[in-house]
Chain A
Amino acid sequence: MRQFSTLASPLALALGLSAAFPLGWVAAQECRSGPVSLDARATLVLPATFGVRGVVPGPSGSLVLWSAGGDLFSIDRERSLTRILLPDSIRPAGVGLTDGGIRLLDQATGRDYLLRPDGAIEQVGQAHLGMAEQLDQALWRRGGWILALRDLASRRFVVRRSFPGDKRELFRSAQSDSIKTIHRYQITESSRGLLLTRSMAPFTVIRLDPSSGATDTLAAPLASLDQVNLPADSLFHWRALPAVALDCTLLLTLSDLSSDRRLLVRYGAGDRVERVTELDAPLGLVARLPGEDAVLGARRAGELELVWYDWRWVGEPNPPTP
């Protein structure tokens, strides 16, 4: 079902999830890994020309997603889609769900906004961005922002905290030869820290401690890609989506932008690639949905649509059907 309206109740609904969402659910689960099975259970067609830039899931099954163009949508548990109107000047680099409303960090200015359940929006802060810094992404986490940006002066990718009284830098990539080739990573949450997924080859995944900045680089998937016939001169067209953590298993989608070829890479608990699955269909795995054993995917089937996958460890029985 597709539904468009202006704000109010869906926003309040989306906010209702914020209190329970952040971290408790991951800590409570044992850290398992192994083969997983995904079964599509529901789909939702997205509006034409809408491209998912980011998704924030909540424990109650609702979602907030946004596009690079500044479109913001909420999806409730019944999968009805509602547009949340934003001023044209705001294009979120990140979205956070809080008790007080939806936090939005504007990509161009670093202004921190609060969108209240009644639809009112106000600036509540300002992330400091240097003159030569280009914000790529912001991740709301425990009352503050984790900023992922490119420092065009030093030609490095930087991850920095933007919390009240805490602007520590957590990560700085190697220096690139030019601005255009600055390494770019996308940040996702996992139970063992932040995951930085490098968008381009060699698609490195780095686990980052969001407090200390300690890093752990996982084995690059490229060595494992020999078996799938991926010529080195085609890597220019490949991109990685942000890694999705299922306990200690990580799923990484590699997309060939010149075809429908996809590689779904599974990391095990040892942080090594355990399996690479080839797929000839335009699909990407986007996020794990907390509170339900579901993974969100996006696929192009006529139009861009979201797909809810039930996931389970292979070898475990199917969950009972309600």
Chain B
Amino acid sequence: MRARLSLSALCLVLLTIIAVRPATAQSLAALAAANTATSLMEKTGAGCWGCESFGGWQICHGGEVPGYYNCSSTVLNTCRLSSPGCGAGAALPLDPDGSAQYVSRGSLLGVQVALHDGDPPVRRNCEGVVVARKQTSDDILSVRIRTGSLTL
């Protein structure tokens, strides 16, 4: 009985989280949209989602960037394989600079792609892939210098 209650509680929590995520994403998205002039860098893959472990359950965790709020989920065993904005092609490079690609299908853990003030300059998913970051003016200058002329 106790186990059944615990399970029910967990389901309730999960359903609440699943229901709230898109709205959260949307409000954050609106916020982000209003601040596009800031120096924050939001990488592509925006709106992509991954699975996050919550109390031993994998739950769907969407991105926080405007564009797509298509985090789809099923009850309990939550994450589906793809969301149209990213999942279907996610194993392919979406961003040819190579630094912001969602590369696995359905196995990204803890994806959060938006950077906010105070965040560390690089955010990685649980696989170590850079999903968002800031570049200083020196970083930018360095990239331009290193890629200005190439001999292959």
Contacts and interface: CB of A to CB of B under 8 A. Distances in A.
Interface string A132-165: 0010110000000000000000000000000000
Contacts of B100: 51, 300, 304
A307 B106 CA distance: 32
Nearest to B135: A302
B113 to A, nearest CB: 9
Contacts, number: 171
Contacts of B101: 239, 255, 257
Contact of B143 (A50, A107, A136, A299): A299
Interface string A201-222: 0000000000000000000000
A69 B47 contact: yes
B2 interface: no
Interface in B33-49: 36, 41-47
A83 interface: no
Interface stretch (A1-9, A11-19, A118-126, A277-285): A277-285
B99 interface: yes
A239 B100 CA distance: 11
Nearest to B100: A51
Contact count band on A: 35 or more
B120 interface: no
B88 A67 contact: no
Interface of A: 35-40, 48-53, 67-69, 91, 93, 107-108, 134, 136-137, 180, 184, 186, 199-200, 236-237, 239, 241, 251, 253, 255-260, 262, 264, 266, 275, 277, 279-286, 297-304, 307, 309, 314
Interface of B: 36, 41-47, 65-68, 84-86, 88-89, 91-101, 103-107, 124, 127-130, 135, 140, 142-144, 146-152
